[in-house]
Amino acid sequence: MVRVDPRHTSTDCHACGHRQDMPLDVREFACGGCGLVTDRDVNAARNILQRGIALAGWDIGSLGRPGASESVLEPHVAGLPGQDAERYAAD
Ligand SMILES: [Zn+2]
């Protein structure tokens, strides 16, 4: 287990590092730095993963780095945005 600093994990862009203040009720992360648009929780999860990888000192090539191939991580997050959309639609 690796403990990571959770501060700004949902407000820092996992792709470019741009930080933007967002009220908690805004669930979509739309980066003002690079234009990335993704689910807020998915962005936070990727930041946590990147911090954990950095703290662990793993040498895993480009995985977890900004601009890394999304395909490596996709199986772990596939379906999340769609599930959220369905949940919100049912509310
Ligand atoms: Zn960005």
Whole-number Å distance, alpha carbon 12 to ligand 1 midpoint, is 8
Residue 53: pLDDT band with limits 50, 70, 90: very high
pTM of the model: 0.64
For 18-47, the pLDDT digits (tens) are 999 999 999 999 999 999 999 999 999 999
Whole-number Å distance, alpha carbon 4 to ligand 1 midpoint, is 21
Whole-number Å distance, alpha carbon 90 to ligand 1 midpoint, is 30
Whole-number Å distance, alpha carbon 86 to ligand 1 midpoint, is 26
pLDDT at 54: 92
**Residue-number span of the structural domain to which 2 is assigned:** 1-91
**Helix, strand or coil, per DSSP, at residue 68:** coil
Q: How many domains does the chain have?
A: 1
> Helix axis angle, 40-56 relative to 80-90, nearest 10°?
150
Whole-number Å distance, alpha carbon 66 to ligand 1 midpoint, is 9
Whole-number Å distance, alpha carbon 30 to ligand 1 midpoint, is 8
